[in-house]
Amino acid sequence: MKRFAGLLVALILMMVSVASADMVQSHYLFGYVIEASSSSFEIITDDESIYQFSIDQSTSIATSSDRLLDQAVMVMYIGDLNLNARSQNVQVAEITTLNLIHGRIEDGTSSTVSVRVMDDQGNPGSLYLFDRENADIVVGEDGIVIGDEVEVSFRETLSQLVPDQVQNFPYVHITVYGQVEDEFE
């Protein structure tokens, strides 16, 4: 009976250990890569914080590390960021490069944001509607105003965008830059 009780206690302790390992929470951070090497990279976030991360063979990178520079990325990490330190002591599990479109806010509702893509000459292109439910929206003090210049980042490919329909992507990051000065000239 004592042997059975001992085995039962050992089994319970082992289950608790496995369960606590499974409960490790992943966190996500959006930013732009400003430095990259085969062993580390730095990103700058929308609030202009700079974080340096180490990478190793266990880090899943959606593109080669030498192509990360100047890319919009989503960093999945395990651990807690030290907001007072540039170099971070967390495990980077995955780095996902994001696709970008640039445009202007054409409309906004409580559920969607409409963005008109602009070409290099400022000519209007396709209109895309983004669901706000899964959107991480970074705005200035004026909020979102029609005509604001924006950058929209997402994991899906550009070919998955469907004009004039709501894009129900699992993650969208919208950075609102405000009014374009030459618009009123």
Residues 1-18: tens digit of each pLDDT = 555 444 444 445 444 444
Residue-wise pLDDT for 73-95, tens only, equals 999 999 999 888 888 889 999 99
Residue (of 162, 138, 170, 133) closest to 152 by Cα position: 138
Bridge partners, residue 116, by sequence: 104, 127
Global confidence as pTM: 0.75
Complete domains list, the chain, with CATH = 26-97 (2.40.50.140), 99-180 (2.40.50)
Residue type (1 letter), 122: G
pLDDT in tens, the chain (185 residues): 555 444 444 445 444 444 444 457 889 999 999 998 888 999 999 989 999 999 888 888 876 556 888 899 999 999 999 888 888 889 999 999 999 999 999 999 999 999 999 888 888 999 999 999 989 999 888 888 999 999 999 999 999 999 999 999 999 999 999 875 554 33
Q: Provide the pLDDT for residue 180.
A: 57
